[in-house]
Structure 1
């Protein structure tokens, strides 16, 4: 079975699949998108692997970097599936070799995507709390909140993906049309609702920054989060809406016959863009690009204090001193 089309859609839209195959333009578009997906997936895997290594073993982790670490893990897992599927398509196209990918890894794809959505929302909420209620955030917030929240978000994403995979035939050879539609709608609604959280948090921060009684400087961390949220809204969100609504709106295949490949391509761009955003934001200073080690660039991207010309100290450098100042004030 072709993993670029969900199994519940394949079971109910045989005629649509025939029309889709006969569309020469769409076939050519699919071939081009598959090559782009494989190329971007490889680049994204390298970038997220670097982020995982630096945040996991080379840097001191704070509240925000814990979420970024988990987001990089979700993106890495998502891109792994895309890279393997790309290799399978290449081997099949050139008749070099062919290996069958069982359907259950698609549940892993959904799991990784949902986890990434949750991590982006959590990062935005975390940043809003640190700005809107700084004293509570630095003095009364439980120390391991980020780790606990990440564990809960991973668990919830796993549960939802398992329910969706079981009812839609991704885990076992069983397909329940009614349950599949229900869980698909729940997953789509969940993605849309959770996606509104970063928008609301970013809007609240903008109002607080520009119209608050006290001027709040725009730090690198705010820029990093803002670009990450924008990348998700433009590139990552269409994947969740398109895939999970396929079962609810069958006519979607007629209107947009290549929607699966298009949204998958955009989602790969989103997962691959996050490491580039971190290193790019960390390298910019006073409209100049600086050439420094990736570790320093990532530290600067996580910086939550305004930098000075002579030197910059960020939250990733010594967060304990900053919290002491907040609590004493």
Structure 2
């Protein structure tokens, strides 16, 4: 896949250069394999996140932590939907006649990809407070805090981190500088990476020390795996986008970063299933029961039942 398509550069440049570049830049079979791989990942990931959204949104009584997971599943679903569109359009090519559709999915991808990072940052901070200050977190946590945080994250990303501004400038075909083009990715890197890294290391150390005395809880295992996979798979897309606007990078690097980002958005439901399932039990468990077991450890003095 061409780097222009992956990183959503100026539509004028994309329209004029993409077909020639995509034909001459690499082996057609490699492009086919890449396209099929990312479509398969996106389809299965969308189904998994859709199941999580349905169960946490309508079938399971929500608590403060599952509210974060519900919003994270929505963000991941949006990333996969937008990525599926761009990959499918790579083969069909109807975007050239309908640029407004491009900007709709560009906005969807940028906002949901950034929201997932801020949601994971909030999740990591929430877990650190729960682990290091368990009494306060269990009994004195402000009511509806997770709902308020999730709402603020969506508003912040959609309206104040240049998602809307950049898309508006592009839609009217005005010049967007390199800084403006990469602004939100730079903000994601500066604000989210240090917090998530410190939180992940702290939780890992705490979990290892606690494991000597007690069995590690499912919820903490889920969070550690989710943060680890994000740092390894999804975050490099920020760096690739910034570097692509500054220097030339091989196409396989940008395509690989997009593939890993989609894989990260697809893997969370798998983590919930693998960690929550009782492997030694002969009783067959549904996804609803598994999610209930994973997130029941959050039950405490304060419960929250609205998103």
- TM over 0.5, yes or no? yes
Is residue 66 of structure 1 aligned with residue 64 of structure 2?
Answer: no
Q: Which moved more, 1:228-237 or 1:78-87?
A: 78-87
Alpha-carbon deviation of 1:217? 4.3
Give unmatched runs, 5+ long, in structure 2: 303-307
Corresponding residue for 1:175?
175
Q: Which has the higher contact order (CA 8 A, sep 6+)?
A: 2
Please name the residue that 2:254 is paired with. Answer: 260
* CA apart distance, 1:224: 0.6
Aligned partners of 1:257, 1:9: CA distance in 2, in Å? 18
Alignment correspondent of 1:225 = 223
Distance across 2 between alignment mates of 1:29 and 1:188: 31
DSSP-derived class of the 2:102 partner? coil
Residues 86, 231 of structure 1: CA spacing in aligned structure 2 closer, same or farther, 3 A cutoff? Answer: same
1:21-70 deviations in Å (ceiling 9; x for gaps):
53334x54333211111111111111111000000011111111001000
CA distances 1:91-131 after superposition (whole Å, capped 9, x unpaired): 45xx9x99746331212110010001111111111111111
Supply the distance in 1 between the matched residues of 2:181 and 2:86 (Cα, whole angstroms).
25
User: Do the aligned partners of 1:67 and 1:150 also contact (CA within 8 Å) in 2?
Assistant: yes
Which residue pairs with 2:203 in the alignment?
Answer: 205
Q: Counterparts of 2:151 and 2:217 in 1: how far apart (Å)? A: 28
| Pairing partner for 2:273 from 275, 279, 292 | 279
| CA displacement at 1:291 relative to structure 2 | 2.8
Deviations 1:256-310 (A, max 9, x none): 2233321111111111111111111111456x68630110011122242xxxxxx
1:298 alignment partner in structure 2: 291
C-alpha contact 1:88 1:98 (8 A) present in aligned 2: no
Partner deviation per Cα, 1:228-278 (whole Å, 9 max, x = no partner): 11111121112222123322x2323xxx22333211111111111111111
TM-score if structure 2 supplies the norm length? Answer: 0.84
Rg larger for = 1
1:61 is paired with a residue of what secondary structure?
Answer: coil
Q: CA deviation at 1:194?
A: 0.2
Structure 1 position 103 matched with structure 2 position 102: yes
Q: Which runs of 5+ in 1 are unaligned?
A: 305-314, 325-329
